[in-house]
Amino acid sequence: MSEKVLVVDDDPDVQLFSVTVLEENGYTPLTANDGQEGMAVIRKEVPALVILDVLMPRESGIKLYRTLRTDAKFKSVPVIVLSGISKRSFLRSQNALAEFGGEKVPEPNLYLEKPVEPEELANAIKTVLG
Amino acid sequence: MSEIRKMLFVTKFEELGFDALQSLLTLRQADLEHVVFMNVIERDKVALHRGKGYQKGEEIRLREAANIRFIDWAETLFEEGMEVGVYIVVGTMVSQVLKAAEKEGSDLIVIGRPVRKGGLNYLYSGSAVTELLRRSAVPVLVYKGMAENNYLIDKPFSRPLLATDWEAASRRAVEYLKPLRGVIEKVHVMHVADEKALSKKASAMEIQRTRKVTRHKLEEICDDLEASGITARPLIYVGDPDEEIERAAQECKASLVVLGSSSRSAWAERWLGSTPRQIAEKSPYPTLLIPPAKALAAG
């Protein structure tokens, strides 16, 4: 059975793009439109990988990422961030949150800034999942 | 009434920019932790045009232009440890804003006032803002300044003028201000007494009685606010509410006018007029409208 990969992104075009890349490379795609939906799918399906956007309605990828990394059950689920938000801002946001929470959150497995080519995303997935 | 934790910031960029947003971030000293940006692309900008069809290319261009601005703003807020969300949608402004506010569970909607963009074109139509004020169950801040004189009040919540008409929405406004004690320096609480109270037929005793009763009611509100840690001062004006509220705002150097919005039906409002709507649309001061408890839901 192929590995499940969750795409969390509110942009239907990006969802379609990522789902197509995943299917072409033999993975089973799952989708969610925001951080809240994403976390619900993660709890239910426990995917092998999460491809995560940052700027979304209801709950951002930053909050979802932090929830994942501080939850004993899901902290080992790899994450590729795919976003228009720069890596620098993403990491600084985690530091800002760490100041409040007193925890150091590890970096995501890979960080890709939109837009990406299909091969770039496919290679990133293969690199992380091995 | 709950604190302002989540703010829906609706912008077309020309009337509300990043400086306006930053001035509102003083609300972080209260409880603000989540800002949701929203840009509504009016349907007629991309709608079916004779010989052109639906302008998908134009929609993409407008979406990406908004996205670029929002990404910049979001990066700044994320780096400060805030939570940020975004909506860029095609549709009708009022219904899209109400939908997003409901979906997000926003505590405050911020929108620019209807300003002239040039010629007879308005950035928002007055009727759209009026409709939003009437239908929103969430307080609406009509923010102003940038389009008129490039001057924005640094701390809009620092010196609010609360104009009360004793109605339920005005009482709700008092509750809304209480959690903002960390942001507010001083509140002026005013009531505009009806000019009839000073008519030639009224005796000196009657006039003084009106003043005394009004003063006591205002002092009760001030006491209530001061018990919550907010310095408050009562003010009584007499005359036309629209003019007197403006005058009071000027005299007490208000940074914001706060009003309970009308619970009248649309028909009654057209017939009787609406001070909150007039102030929201015409006054140069940012205006915070607190709806009555049972406003119409989004739809």
CA distance A130 to chain B (A): 31
Structure tokens at B53: 């069809």
Residue A116 has pLDDT above 80, yes or no: yes
Predicted confidence at residue B298, as pLDDT, reads 42
Predicted confidence at residue B233, as pLDDT, reads 97
Q: Which residues of A56-86 are buried (b: 16+ CB within 10 A; e: fewer)?
A: bbbbbbbbbbbbbbeeeebeebbbbbbbbbb
Residue A41 has pLDDT above 50, yes or no: yes
Report the C-alpha gap between B152 and B255 in whole angstroms.
10
CATH number at residue A56: 3.40.50.2300
Predicted confidence at residue B217, as pLDDT, reads 96
Q: Tell me whether residues A85 and B87 touch, CB distance under 8 A.
A: no
Q: Tell me whether residues A89 and B100 touch, CB distance under 8 A.
A: no
> What structural domains and CATH numbers belong to chain B?
6-149 (3.40.50.620), 160-290 (3.40.50.620)
Q: Percent of chain A at pLDDT above 90?
A: 88
Task: Decide: B159 and B186 in contact? Cβ < 8 Å.
Answer: yes
Mapped onto helix, strand or coil, the DSSP state of residue B208 is helix
Report the C-alpha gap between A111 and B33 in whole angstroms.
25
Predicted confidence at residue B273, as pLDDT, reads 55
Residue A42's domain comprises 4-129
Collect all residues of chain A within an 8 Å Cβ-Cβ radius of residue B74: 54-55, 85, 89
CB half-sphere exposure, B112, CA atoms < 13 A: 28
CA distance A59 to chain B (A): 7
Q: Tell me whether residues B85 and A55 touch, CB distance under 8 A.
A: yes
Assess B137–A contact: CB distance below 8 Å, yes or no: no
Judge if pTM exceeds 0.80: yes
At A39, is the pLDDT very low, low, confident or very high (cuts 50, 70, 90)?
A: very high
Task: Decide: A105 and A94 in contact? Cβ < 8 Å.
Answer: yes
In chain A, the number of structural domains is: 1
Assess B103–A contact: CB distance below 8 Å, yes or no: yes
Q: How far apart are the first and last CA of chain A?
A: 16
Query: Tell me, what's the ipTM?
Result: 0.92
Q: Tell me whether residues A60 and B100 touch, CB distance under 8 A.
A: no
Low-confidence ranges of chain B (pLDDT < 70): 1-2, 48-51, 114-126, 145-152, 197-202, 262-273, 294-299
Predicted confidence at residue A100, as pLDDT, reads 65
Each residue's pLDDT tens digit, A82-112: 999 999 999 999 888 777 667 778 999 999 9
Q: Tell me whether residues B103 and A58 touch, CB distance under 8 A.
A: yes
